[in-house]
Amino acid sequence: MKTTRTLAGFDVFPIGLGCMSLSHGYGPAASPDAAEALLLGALDRGVTLFDTAALYGFGHNEEILGRVLAPHRSRFMLASKCGIFREDGRRRIDGRPETLRRTCEDSLRRLRTDVIDLYYLHRWDKSVPIEDSVGALADLARAGKIRAIGLSEVSADTLRRAHAVHPVAAVQSEYSLWSCEVEIAVLGACRELGTALVAFSPLGRAFLADGLPDVARLHDTDLRRRMPRFQPEAYARNLALLEPLRRMARDHGCTPGQLALAWLLHQGEDVIPIPGTTRLAHLEENLGAAGVRLDAEARDELARLFARDRVAGERYGPATQAEVDTERFPAS
């Protein structure tokens, strides 16, 4: 495999850093010192893609990146997202052009930069034509506020509609051994259009990194508490998938998480995973996946192990699923 991958005209290390967990998602935010150590540690270890969003910690995550990484701005590619934010204490999806322009200015201020390299529409606001939202992002690109446009959790049809307005450099969607919905249509559309696929939750929200000790003890604010795959009955069934994954990892001289990331890296040079973590040891482990080589037989065996009918539970509950535009597998 190549030592770099191309994203929106930038050459980046094959594995980026998803920064959400520094602020929210899987429990309390990291302390300022821990967040700084993680971000600078990532930079020093060769990470060149840092991914954040206005949503993460409702601005807190962008502020951390701005404070810690602004002095090193020339050393990395910065990605952020708009279209979901907090207003009057509530989470809101809003893709109106005037809102996207305003939230971009807010993000630039928090990130302490003049330009965002890759700016995603975090969710398509289905009350606004995708052409209007992407048109607003195109205006921001022409104004020099952003360099490239991305979309998150969209269908192949929506991607094509958006791309007709302005080139879409990347689609960010969940993609891992146990979440392969992008293979239905989006990945093919990305390749048709020359769009990269940025894979969030490539470790299955820690499941593929050898599971969780006890899902019943997850923090009250942990997103996984509301996800079908992490409900006790489904999770108990899913645990049966881990021992074969551990066995294959031992055979390849790596950890289960590294094996899962390596499988994703082998899906194509246009696939860029962005695992998140708050711990330097986990960061180093994740980056080590770039050196794991898998032959076709091993890749096929992993795909069979995590075939859709072997995974218990959907990736999202009904309310969250209604917010996304991605294709879905038929109910099993």
Query: Looking at residue 87, what is its pLDDT?
Result: 75
Give the pairing of strands 146-152 and 170-174: parallel
> What sign does the CA torsion over 249, 254, 260, 263 have?
negative
CA dist., res. 323 & res. 316, Å (int): 10
Give me the helices (H) in the chain, please.
32-44, 60-69, 97-111, 130-142, 156-165, 186-193, 232-238, 242-251, 256-265, 280-288, 296-305, 318-321
Model confidence over 63-92: pLDDT tens digits?
Answer: 999 999 999 999 999 999 999 987 777 889
Query: Looking at residue 332, what is its pLDDT?
Result: 58
Name the residues annotated as catalytic.
56
Query: Looking at residue 89, what is its pLDDT?
Result: 72
Query: Looking at residue 13, what is its pLDDT?
Result: 98
Q: Which CATH superfamily is domain 5-321 in?
A: NADP-dependent oxidoreductase domain (3.20.20.100)
Give the pairing of strands 77-82 and 49-51: parallel
CA dist., res. 257 & res. 262, Å (int): 9
Q: 184-193, 196-205, 277-286, 322-331: which has the minimum mean pLDDT?
A: 322-331
Average pLDDT over residues 238-257: 97
Task: At 263, list the tokens.
Answer: 């499988």
CA dist., res. 2 & res. 79, Å (int): 22
- Chain mean pLDDT for the chain: 96
Determine how many CB atoms are found less than 10 A away from the CB of residue 183: 14
CB 7 within 8 A of CB 272: yes
Any idea of the CA torsion for 24, 40, 109, 51, to the nearest 10 degrees? -50
Model confidence over 132-186: pLDDT tens digits?
Answer: 999 999 999 999 999 999 999 999 999 999 999 999 999 999 999 999 999 999 9
CB 69 within 8 A of CB 39: yes
Share of residues in the chain with pLDDT > 90 (%): 93
Task: At 318, list the tokens.
Answer: 């009904």
HSE-up (13 A, CA, CB side) for residue 324:
21
Q: How far does CA 236 lie from the centroid of its chain?
A: 26
CA dist., res. 80 & res. 58, Å (int): 13
Model confidence over 185-204: pLDDT tens digits?
Answer: 999 999 999 999 999 999 99
Q: 50-64, 207-221, 233-247, 267-281: which has the minimum mean pLDDT?
A: 207-221
Strand partners, 174: 200
Confidence category of residue 260, pLDDT binned at 50, 70, 90? very high
Question: What phi and psi, each to the nearest 5 degrees, are found at residue 50?
Answer: -115, 125
Query: Looking at residue 149, what is its pLDDT?
Result: 98
Indicate the SS3 state at residue 287: helix
Q: How many angstroms separate the Cα of 294 from the Cα of each of 123, 264, 266?
A: 34, 10, 7
Answer whether residue 311 shows pLDDT above 80. Answer: yes
Any idea of the CA torsion for 264, 266, 269, 272, to the nearest 10 degrees? 20
Strand partners, 57: none
> What sign does the CA torsion over 106, 276, 315, 190 have?
positive
Confidence category of residue 31, pLDDT binned at 50, 70, 90? very high
Model confidence over 222-245: pLDDT tens digits?
Answer: 999 999 999 999 999 999 999 999
Query: Looking at residue 214, what is its pLDDT?
Result: 84
Share of residues in the chain with pLDDT > 70 (%): 99
> What sign does the CA torsion over 23, 64, 152, 267 have?
negative
SS3 per residue for 217-266: HCCCCCHHHHCHHHCHHHHHHHHHHHHHHHHHHHHCCCCHHHHHHHHHHC
Task: At 193, list the tokens.
Answer: 């259009």
Answer whether residue 331 shows pLDDT above 80. Answer: no
Query: Looking at residue 182, what is its pLDDT?
Result: 98
Confidence category of residue 45, pLDDT binned at 50, 70, 90? very high
Model confidence over 287-296: pLDDT tens digits?
Answer: 999 999 999 9
